[in-house]
Structure 1
Amino acid sequence: MLVDAGRLIGPAVAVMALIGLVLFTRWAFSGPRAPGPSAADDGLLTRVATLAHRESALQLRALLSDAGIRSTVRFPGAHRAEVLVFPEDAGRARELVAAFGSPE
């Protein structure tokens, strides 16, 4: 009986090691666990306009660029584009947005 139990120990250890390796690699290579920044999180930037059309947002960004204001456009959903600038440029950018005819 002892000989039969001895023969089972080797394969059992190998199976347990394989299961441990599979579980470790699933954990190590799985995606991020914490949710990323939400759409409301603008980070260091300030939203100055929300537009319904991509083309309008890109035109506004070009206008801001011509005025020397660095900006970016974010597309958080269908038919929605947000133009963001650095806080120190937000006042001038909002004036240009008002002249552009697109309220926030």
Structure 2
Amino acid sequence: MPIGAGSSLHYLVGPAIAFAVLGLLALFMRWAFGTGSAPTASPPADDGLLTRIATLSQREAALALRAVLSDAGIRSTIRFPAAHRADVLVFPEDAERARTLAASFAPPE
């Protein structure tokens, strides 16, 4: 039973259903895989394999302490978890010696 082409809009039903299904699918995917909130920057909960031996307020002071540790044969790194904060990290086997050197360290002014 053919439908007259002049008075019917049956050719729009298929694309309308397809767009509706795609829209519902997009909403479902956003709900299923969305994060729920904006990510926030937070300092790591732990230092991994490294041990924090000092926290300094200036980058230059942290670099100077790292140079002192390097001269003593201690491998170290610096982490900047926040503005105006620098953590000096070493391996656990060097932590005691590094803390001794850090205690006698006078940061440059």
- Taking structure 1 as the reference length, the TM-score comes to 0.69
Which deviations, in whole Å up to 9, do the C-alpha atoms of 1:64-95 show, x marking residues without a partner? 11111111111122221110111111011011
Which deviations, in whole Å up to 9, do the C-alpha atoms of 1:10-59 show, x marking residues without a partner? 321233225525764897697xx997874442111111001111100000
More moved, 33-42 vs 50-59: 33-42
Of 13, 24, 28, the match for 1:8: 13
Matched, 1:92 2:108: no
SS in 2 for 1:82: strand
Distance 1:99 1:34, change over 3 A: same
Of 71, 76, 79, the match for 1:71: 76
**Greater than 6 Å deviation, 4+ residue runs:** 25-30, 33-37
> Among the aligned pairs, what percent are the same residue?
48
Work out the number of aligned pairs and report it.
99
Q: Whose helix proportion is higher, 1 or 2? A: 1
Q: Which runs of 5+ in 1 are unaligned?
A: none
More moved, 40-49 vs 15-24: 15-24
